[in-house]
Chain A
Amino acid sequence: MSTQPVDQRVGRDEVHPLIKWMRNNRRVLTSAGFLFLMLIAFVIASPDVFTQFRTYRSVMIALPVSIFVVIPLVFVVTAGEIDLSFPAVVGMASYGFAAIVDAGGNPLLGIFAALAIGVVLGYLNGILVVHIGLSALVATLGMNFLLRGLINITVEGFSIAMPELRGTLVHSLMTDDPILGIPNQMLWATAFAILGLFLYNYHRFGIHVHCVGDHPGSAAEMGVNVARTRIMVFVFTGIGAALAGVFSVMINFVWWPTTGDGLLLPVLAGLFVGGTPTWGGIGTVLGGAFGVTIVSFIETGVIAAGLTGFFTQFFYGLIIIVSLIGQRFNGARVR
């Protein structure tokens, strides 16, 4: 085009593409920047610890468990829902896995069983919220207690040790570290995050999740299947929780009746620190992954800086509040 219409001279199209890209991705950039600054601070505070690869390696051993849960939770929160039952779903699904392995079954079969349990429990959450119309917050909180209670009633406090996992092909594919000493589970989690990223931004499912969380009425008027989309986010969370559970057991060689319990608050904190707001319609998958990474490093950083474990919770809180203030500049609440 040789000439531009007059009114296009002062348009948004004059904004540099890089600026535009940064504006469109400001939430994930904020959490990535925050992670980076925090690591710099740790390096300055305790250089002898944070210049060592093994410090990062030790974080990467358990971090993947959180990533498998947080990615689907970004979908849930973007859809305008919440799922607080994931700790018990992690426990239930990994119990299925452990029970099969303990009985001499193939670990691969155990993984399929765990996934099936995750899908069923996720679907059940979806039915409670979407078709029975319960509040997602309360219903999934109830499910968390109910499922954990079922675990406790069934095993009566006993854990399941699975030393036989060591040396199996599935176990080494999932948790060895042949590439630069990076634990394989970190690579699987990264692959899962990238898959989540594409689903979230470029797949009909992810796009419908955005629309439903933004305005369910509008989405329904345009022919989006709102009920199915909502149920699917809970099913996806069940799948993520099942994978998290299997990896957790694979890493520890033990299933405990409490497996998954410790995930609730750190994962939720990571989700929101990562830049997914509470009100639905928008969010960031990579931000969620960065968020749980931030949370995972806090404890290591606090201890390495020579502070006692008593400081950990204080720093959790501090970093959550500070990073949320940072995200606040990425747009005010809309509802």
Chain B
Amino acid sequence: MSDYIIELKNITKSFGNVNAVEGVSLQIKPGEVVGLIGDNGAGKSTLIKILSGVHPPDKGEIFVRGEKVSHWNAARSRLSGIETVYQDRALVIQQSITRNIFMGREIQRRFGFVDTKKQRQEANRLMRDIGFTSKVFDPDSPVATLSGGERQGVAIARALYFDAELIILDEPTTALSLTETRKVFSFIENVRARGKSIIFIGHNIYHVYDVAERFIVLDRGKIVLTSDKTEVSSAEYLIETMHDIAETGHAEIHA
């Protein structure tokens, strides 16, 4: 058994001539909250899509709990206990809340038929747990009828349902109201309290600083800084460091 839930070794991914991610190695320990930051185009989204199996890497190795994996894809990533809440929320808005929650991981009966009754009950329970109000209470409602925050709620409920070991949150607070943002934070606390890991990607450094205990800074496809929260005195300091990185392409932590 390994100390890491997932480990990336020398991962490279390019799209045409663009090297989105170049030689990235990282490890995620059980129970830690990692903040992944970087400017636009730094490769954050590509990196998390490699972790979640949406993009196969061009080069490099992926280890899940110490075991090397091959043919890594989104379905395998989810079965390995990694759930991702994407920035675009990965919802199918003409379909019901239930169908969205179980998309790709349907509760099955024999011959590939889906236990729609059980799924509906579970969706109903989950909606109550997560504190959905009556307006969206019905698990048969199409997601198109929900507000942005409520849609985010469905995406998070989905990650929660499958009891993931690692939850990746890609810009979870973008375009959310203050109350909704607070809900996301309490969700993170909740997950942390249960000993699960989180990767939190954000533009808002203050948000990332508040929730994360370790920071990984990406710049132009490479990891330029990894540091524990104890090494970073404040969010302002982190922002200052990010500016340095943008100008010089590398960073030092001056303690």
Cβ contacts B67-81/A at 8 Å (1 or 0 each)? 000000111111000
Given contacts A198-B113, A202-B116, A203-B112, contact A219 B137 (CB under 8 A): no
Main secondary structure of the interface of A (DSSP, over half): helix
Residues 198-224 of B contacting A (Cβ, < 8 Å): none
* Residue B135 is within 8 A (CB to CB) of chain A in the complex: yes
Q: Which of A188-227 contact B (CB under 8 A)?
A: 198, 201-205, 207, 210-211, 214-215, 217-225
Across the interface, which residues of B come within 8 angstroms of A13, CB to CB?
134, 137-138
- Interfacial chain A residues near B54, Cβ < 8 Å: 220-221
> Which A residues lie within 8 Å of B144 (CB)?
334
Q: A211-B92, A211-B99, A219-B103 are known contacts. Are A11 and B114 too (CB-CB below 8 A)?
A: no
**Of A9, A225, A281, which is within 8 A of B95 by CB?**
A281
| Residue A3 lies at the interface, judged by CB distance under 8 Å to chain B | no
Interface of B is mostly: loop
A278–chain B nearest beta-carbon distance, Å:
13
Residues of A within 8 A of B134 (CB): 5, 7-13
> Which A residue sits closest to B133, measured CB to CB?
A7
CB <8 Å contact, B113 and A202: yes
Q: Which residues of A contact B74 (CB under 8 A)?
A: 220-223
Q: For the complex, what is the distance from the CA of A204 to the CA of B104, rounded to whole Å?
A: 9
Contact call B140/A20, Cβ cutoff below 8 A: yes
The verdict on A24 contacting chain B, using a C-beta distance below 8 Å, is yes
Closest to B140 in A: A24
CA distance A205 to B108 in the complex (A): 12
Would A202 and B94 count as touching, CB distance under 8 A? no
- Cβ 8 A contact of A204, one of B53, B91, B108, B138: B108
Could you count the A-B residue pairs with CB atoms below 8 Å apart for me: how many are there? Answer: 104
Which residue of B103, B111, B133 has the most chain A CB atoms within 10 A of its CB atom? B103
Q: Is B246 an interface residue (CB 8 A)?
A: no
CB pair A214 B114 closer than 8 Å = no
Q: A7-B133, A203-B112 are in contact. Are A210 and B95 (CB under 8 A)?
A: yes
Which of B24-32, B57-65, B82-90, B230-238 contacts its partner? Answer: B82-90
Q: Is A282 an interface residue (CB 8 A)?
A: yes
Contacts of B137 in A (CB 8 A): 8, 11-13
> For chain B, which range describes its interface: under 10, 10 to 19, 20 to 34, or 35 or more residues?
35 or more
Residue of A nearest to B52 (CB): A221
- A11 surroundings in chain B (CB, below 8 A): 133-135, 137-138
Alpha-carbon distance between A92 and B84 when the two chains are bound, in angstroms: 46
Given the contacts A24-B140, A221-B74, A223-B74, A215 and B93 also touching, CB distance less than 8 Å: yes
Q: Does B171 contact A (CB under 8 A)?
A: no
Give the contacting residue for A334; candidates B94, B99, B112, B114; CB below 8 A. B94
Nearest B residue (CB) for A277: B94
Write the residues of chain A forming the contact surface with B, with a CB cutoff of 8 angstroms. 5, 7-13, 20, 24, 198, 201-205, 207, 210-211, 214-215, 217-225, 281-282, 334
In the A-B complex, list the 6 residue pairs whose CB atoms are closest, starting with the nearest. A11-B134, A223-B75, A214-B92, A222-B104, A223-B104, A223-B74
Query: A204-B108, A221-B86 known; 13 other A-B pairs, CB under 8 Å?
Result: A9-B134, A11-B134, A24-B140, A203-B114, A207-B106, A215-B91, A215-B93, A217-B90, A219-B103, A219-B104, A220-B74, A223-B105, A225-B75
Q: What residues make up the interface of B, taking CB atoms closer than 8 Å to A?
A: 52-54, 73-78, 84, 86, 88-95, 99, 103-106, 108, 111-114, 116, 133-135, 137-138, 140-141, 144
A-B contact pairs, 12 of them (CB 8 A): A12-B134, A12-B141, A13-B134, A204-B113, A215-B93, A218-B92, A221-B74, A221-B86, A222-B103, A223-B77, A223-B105, A224-B75
